[in-house]
Amino acid sequence: MVDTRDIAAGGEAVNDFWSLPGWLNGLLWLLQFTLSAAAGALGVVLCLLWLPEGVIWDLSGIVAGFVIVYLAIVVHELGHLLAARWSGMTVLRMRVGRLDVRVLRNGWKLGWPPRTQKRLQGFVMAFADSRGPWRRQHLCFVAGGPLANLTLALLSGGLGAWLAPGAAHGVLLAFAASNACLGVANLLPVERKPLVSDGLWLLRWWRGLDVAHPKLAFARLMGAACAGLCADQADPQDLRLLESQGLPMSLLALYIRLRALLVQGRWEEAAALDAALQAQRTVLPEALLRPLYDLLRLMDTELAFSRAMASKSAVGLFDELLPSRLQREYASIWARCLALRAALAGDDGAFRRQLERGLEHAAQSPDLSLEKEEARIQQGMLRFLRG
């Protein structure tokens, strides 16, 4: 499935989650902002205090401080990732700034996608297994980030205090201070829309957040998909809930419906969804265009594939249809498009090779539905092209 972490919180409010009173949220946000600023300032100041003085002392200290802050964010996201894996969730990716790590069934792959956020931020995209205890999985997942920071703060602070004063001593103390500030800041129960702190999510799950909450429809659908449920088996009620939440959630629901039609080999009906996509695209807020770029290009590609199947013409399957970065990331989908292009050109050998390549890539995804869906779409292609 397409990366939707940056846009999943952008839908209209539906039975809003529990939050703190506005005045208290404001005070805690101010404290969180102060701690976040302190994480960077302390990292730089402590490095400057303990690094050897020299011609480039100021520059090296500032650079070391920023590297320490970046590493503290990496530690935070790794904590989320490891906690998610330990609790039984399916992890799809981790991102810190522009460093993107896609998780595969066996291993991982690094990427460098375009910047969509002005600030240095990170996230882990993970979905709970619908067959397991949702509350426990989410509690572990959310707590993992701050706990990783606080644990590293204690370890590096203790080691730094044990060492004699010097560069290593200062760097370790800077790392401890940055991790401590970041860990505590994330534990504060703050909401600054569309962002929600780990602390507030912990409180929500601890208070017994209803797993059937309307706003969790996307998480339920993705959890079921990661467990192997194909798009045409998605819960109809959750799909309707997703559509009712407005943009961008309605766009995600449209993508699921498009995949469902492709899986069932209903090419003309799938191609007809282009009108619905264009209707949503015309009212899309400018602020969502960059976060939604990958999803929109992927939907354009799937619609072009549907039209090519329905008309048995590969005119719309041109090389620039999907950017090269997305051709690599969604290699199973792009290989299917190339396979269709080869089949319509009469190149049976290339057709077979691209189909095999598509299934090989789909089999690497931790999203278990992808391999099943691609196999079913290929079966529909073979029946249709031979018919």
Q: Does the CA dihedral 262-268-271-274 come out positive or negative?
A: negative
Q: Does residue 237 share a domain with residue 128?
A: no
Place of tokens 């869906």: 373
Q: Is residue 144 part of a domain?
A: yes
CA dist 90 and 81 (Å) reads 10
Q: Does residue 248 share a domain with residue 147?
A: no
Q: Does residue 47 share a domain with residue 193?
A: yes
Burial class (CB in 10 A: 0-12, 13-18, 19+), 5: middle
Confidence of residue 373 (pLDDT cuts 50, 70, 90): very high
| Tens-digit pLDDT profile for residues 217-274 | 999 999 999 999 999 999 999 999 999 999 999 999 999 999 999 999 999 999 999 9
Domain count for the chain, please give it: 2
Q: Domain range spanning residue 28?
A: 22-206
Q: Is residue 163 part of a domain?
A: yes
Q: Does residue 359 share a domain with residue 282?
A: yes
Q: Does residue 154 share a domain with residue 67?
A: yes
What is the model's pTM? 0.90
Q: Is residue 12 part of a domain?
A: no
* Average confidence score pLDDT of the chain: 89
Q: Is residue 11 part of a domain?
A: no
Q: Does residue 274 share a domain with residue 345?
A: yes
Cα 92 → chain centroid = 7
**pLDDT on residue 16:** 66
Q: Does residue 258 share a domain with residue 191?
A: no
Q: Does residue 196 share a domain with residue 241?
A: no
Q: Is residue 15 part of a domain?
A: no
CB 147 within 8 A of CB 141: no
Q: What backbone torsions phi and psi does residue 94 show, to the nearest 5 degrees?
A: -135, 140
Q: Is residue 7 part of a domain?
A: no
| Tens-digit pLDDT profile for residues 303-313 | 999 999 999 99
Q: Is residue 211 part of a domain?
A: no
Q: Does residue 34 share a domain with residue 88?
A: yes
Q: Does residue 247 share a domain with residue 196?
A: no
DSSP state, residue 51: S
Which DSSP string do the residues of 81-93 spell out, in sequence order? HHHHHHHTPEEEE
